[in-house]
Amino acid sequence: MPTAPTDSEYGTALVPTVTPFANGSVDADGVADIAEFVLTNGADGLVPCGTTGEFASLTLEEYETVVSTSVDAADGAPVLPGAASTSVAGTLERIDVAADAGADAVLIVLPYFHGANAPAGNERFLRAVLDDASLPVVLYNIPSCVGQSIDADLIEAVADHPTLAGMKDTSGDLTHLIDVIRRTGDDFHLFQGWDSQLVPAVALGATGGINAVSNYLPGLMAEAIDAAATNDVARGRDLQLNHIAPLFNTSLEFGFAPTTKAALTERGVIDDDAVRPPLVELDDDQVATVRDVLDETLAVAE
């Protein structure tokens, strides 16, 4: 029988929230509106300043604004911001900013641009961060952006560190995720970040998901996690194949932040779908595609 998701103080359905902009600046009211929308419609917690949140396009001051606004708007729900950087010092600086803002944990990646020249380098980096981090840490495996995957051997080597809480896996490699589940204990919270593999991942023992689609359909994603966790195979299959997959594939084609902002604008959650360079907003034809896919799902999901 599939293993139910591990109990997690962070919940199971977390949202990697977008960062809305207005007139070129961070729209703090929009940040709060998104938080209220997702948390009142099925989500358990927030993950601001991740990939979908365009963290790499934010100044440190803007980062603090997004995190602190998310914490205030969450009203006690877990907030786990991204704290990605290319150095130990830079990562720890962002973790401290998140801690001062009241966050519950952070997500970190391996250094990007300059990778380790030997396998031991990645472990050295992670242990240096974990040893001095002021918040619990969730690893974030996204090889398409970082340039390398967090190896299962490395995860197993650091899994028992008292500061390490788990991992978000956005590799799209279900075999890798299963390997990590097998090698880590019940206290290691593993979140699926590849939306089109959410149901099978949870059915096999993942804690839950941190998924872009949950920005605009939080209830649908929470329902999918519940279906997988309770062995409701028919419901889980239908949600995954007929609803989540088309939305995720559209995001994969057009870009996650632009597509998600277009969908949130269509739903009336935010007023502006602006993104920062090098990203660009969707054109009219692409917005129409997003609208059609979204409307088709909404017609049966709500």
- In the residue annotation, 63 being an active-site residue is answered as no
| Angle of CA points 39, 65, 136, to nearest 5° | 65
Sign of CA dihedral 58, 136, 78, 76: negative
Tell how far CA 86 is from the center of its chain: 19
**Contact between residue 110 and residue 138 where contact means Cβ atoms under 8 Å apart:** no
Q: What single string gives the DSSP state of each residue in 7-71? A: P-TT-SEEE-----EETTEE-HHHHHHHHHHHHTTT--EE--SSTTTTGGGS-HHHHHHHHHHHH
Q: Which of 55, 56, 36 is nearest to 46 (CA)?
A: 36
Structure tokens at 103: 């966050």
Is 95 marked within a binding site?
A: no
Phi, psi of 108 (to 5 degrees): -130, 155
For the chain, the straight-line distance linking the first and the last C-alpha, in angstroms and rounded, comes to 30
Among 10, 63, 112, 140, the active-site one is 140
Question: What's phi and psi for 106, nearest 5 deg?
Answer: -135, 160
Rounded Cα gap, residues 193 and 211, in angstroms: 5
Q: Report the alpha-carbon distance of residue 172 to residue 193 in Å, rounded.
A: 8
Nearest-angstrom CA–CA distance, 192 and 190:
7
Q: Is 140 a catalytic residue?
A: yes
Give Cα separations from 25 to 53, 71, 207 (angstroms): 14, 19, 35
Tell me if 69 is assigned to a ligand binding site. no
Query: Of 10, 168, 216, 261, which one is the catalytic site residue?
Result: 168
Residues that are catalytic: 140, 168
Q: Cite the annotated binding site for pyruvate by residue number.
A: 52, 210
Q: Cite the annotated binding site by residue number.
A: 52, 210
